[in-house]
Amino acid sequence: MLILAQYDLLFSMKSYDPRMHSAEHILNQTMGRMFGCERSFSSHIEAKKSKCDYRFDRELSRVEELDLTDRVNEVIARNLNVREKMITWEEAQRQFNLNKLPADHAGEIRIIYVGDYDHCPCIGPHVRNSAEIGQFELVSTSFAAGVLRIRFKLK
């Protein structure tokens, strides 16, 4: 229950933006499809500007940054419905990496679906349709010690 209370506090903060959080889902899936990497292992999501950190082996080229931006915006423009589904812990273990969840978690897991493009466990609030997100803008990227950081905002 403590973790849920912490999330409730986080999501009640004025800096939290469901549009930005939903964009993070699309960015994570796009990174996986383009580069074969795992979802971000660390992120900081705020209304003004956000960042995601990925385990990676190099920096992105400018062409890759532009391609990533275009692909994320193409997905957003598909007007994908965002929905949730509760599944059992056992089912979630078979389908997802649950390392970010507490080891003593029991019961059902909430899965967020961004159309047919992405689905993953998540506790946060999201938009109802990707059309609500706006335009994704990649602000900058940096690479150090096996970590690729992507900073982005929405217009």
Segment 39-73, tens digit of pLDDT: 999 999 999 999 999 999 999 999 999 999 999 99
The fraction of the chain above a pLDDT of 70, given in percent, is: 89
Band of the pLDDT at 144, cuts 50, 70, 90? Answer: very high
CB of 54 within 8 A of CB of 41?
yes
Q: Is the pLDDT of residue 34 over 80?
A: yes
Q: Is the pLDDT of residue 9 over 70?
A: no
**CA torsion angle 136 115 41 105 (round to 10):** 140
Q: Is the pLDDT of residue 8 over 70?
A: no
Q: Which domains does the chain have, with CATH numbers?
A: 20-154 (3.30.980.10)
Identify which of 119, 154, 129 has the alpha carbon closest to the alpha carbon of residue 139: 154
CB of 127 within 8 A of CB of 22?
yes
The β-bridge partners of 83 are 113
Predicted confidence at residue 15, as pLDDT, reads: 63
Which residue type sits at 99? Answer: N
